[in-house]
């Protein structure tokens, strides 16, 4: 099971790395080149999803990725149209930082009939958006405000509530292409407070930032835009 592997990695302090593929930004034909680069990178997981993608060539993208790499593929959906039975699992997200009922529970309810027709491993994940210096797509699409980075205690409290509700992972998100990544102090505060694996992503553009996220307590770092803009990023 994918979640058990993530938990074991956490126990062994083995850090994980996911490359995020936004299906809106890639063509099926480009996957073989991307997959080659992913194979040469330190990535341990592939995430697939985007804020506003309508799901149109999702199956094809995932089938192509699966035929070209051995990494587990986890859906990172912005809405229920982004569910594909071809993936291995799904981050079943709950936008804990926002107060929009659609992203707290409505999308999840609508996803059930689709999920029941798949064998996807479903991993309940609390998703926390942190302010990052400008409006991000997640903010725009979810119509929610991020949490202030000035109040690390409140962010940690939110993450802990997610854990107590039953989230099996927490995701600290600055937003794709964010000006500023999630600050180290926030990552530290949250990781000290929760026992479940911590994912950190958004605006991470350098090896140094990846290492800083790990040393602050991230168990899994997500890289999307940096790899999208430069497929040689991990060289
Ligand atoms: C976005 O956390 C991911 O949801 C990755 O962000 O595209 O900025 O790497 P970037």
What ranges do the domains of the chain cover?
Answer: 2-229
Q: What is the ipTM of this complex?
A: 0.98
- Write out the H or E segment, with its range, that includes residue 185: helix 184-193
- pLDDT, tens digit, 9 for 90 and up, residues 51-86: 888 888 999 999 999 999 999 999 999 999 999 999
Over the stretch 207-234, which tens digit does the pLDDT of each residue have?
Answer: 999 999 999 999 999 999 999 999 999 9
pLDDT in tens, 20-54: 999 999 999 999 999 999 999 999 999 999 888 88
Two structure tokens written together for 190? 């949250």
Q: What confidence tier does 108 reach under pLDDT thresholds 50, 70, 90?
A: very high
Q: Give the CA-trace dihedral at 220, 226, 227, 233, to 10 degrees.
A: -100
CA dist 213 and 135 (Å) reads 22
pLDDT of amino acid 117: 98
Report the residue among 136, 174, 181, 233 best suited for mutation to probe ligand 1: largest number of ligand atoms under 8 A from its CB.
174
Please provide the average confidence, as pLDDT, over all residues in the chain.
97
End-to-end CA distance of the chain: 30
Per-residue model confidence (pLDDT) at position 41: 98
What is the pTM for the complete model shown? Answer: 0.98
| Ligand 1 atom showing the smallest separation from residue 201 Cα | 2
Half-sphere CA count of 195, side-chain side, radius 13 A: 2
Determine the topology of domain 2-229 in CATH.
TIM Barrel (3.20.20)
Contact in structure between 169 and 123 (CB atoms under 8 Å): yes
User: Taking a C-beta distance cutoff of 8 angstroms, is the pair 177, 133 a contact?
Assistant: no
What's the average model confidence in pLDDT over 174-202?
Answer: 98
Atom of ligand 1 nearest to the CA of 47: 3
Distance, in Å, from the CA atom of 164 to the CA atom of 216, rounded to the nearest integer, reads 22
């Amino acid at each position: 099971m994918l979640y058990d592997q993530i938990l074991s990695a956490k126990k062994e302090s083995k850090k994980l790395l996911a490359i995020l593929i936004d299906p809106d930004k890639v063509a099926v034909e480009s996957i073989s080149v991307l997959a080659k680069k992913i194979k040469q990178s330190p990535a341990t997981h592939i995430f697939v999803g985007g804020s506003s993608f309508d799901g149109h060539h999702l199956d094809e993208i995932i089938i192509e990725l699966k035929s070209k790499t051995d990494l587990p593929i986890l859906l990172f959906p912005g809405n229920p149209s982004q569910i594909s039975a071809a993936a291995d699992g799904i981050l079943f997200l709950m936008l804990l930082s926002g107060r929009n009922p659609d992203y707290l529970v409505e999308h999840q309810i609508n996803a059930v009939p689709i999920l029941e027709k798949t064998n996807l491993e479903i991993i309940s994940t609390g998703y926390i958006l942190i302010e990052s210096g400008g409006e991000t797509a997640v903010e725009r699409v979810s119509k929610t405000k991020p949490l202030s980075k000035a109040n690390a205690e409140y962010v940690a409290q939110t993450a802990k509530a997610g854990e107590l509700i039953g989230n099996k992972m927490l995701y600290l998100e600055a937003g794709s292409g964010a000006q500023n990544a999630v600050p180290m102090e926030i990552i530290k505060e949250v990781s000290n407070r929760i026992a479940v694996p911590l994912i950190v992503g958004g605006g991470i553009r350098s090896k140094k930032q990846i290492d800083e996220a790990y040393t602050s307590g991230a168990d899994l770092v997500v890289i999307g835009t940096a790899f999208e803009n430069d497929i040689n990023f991990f060289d």
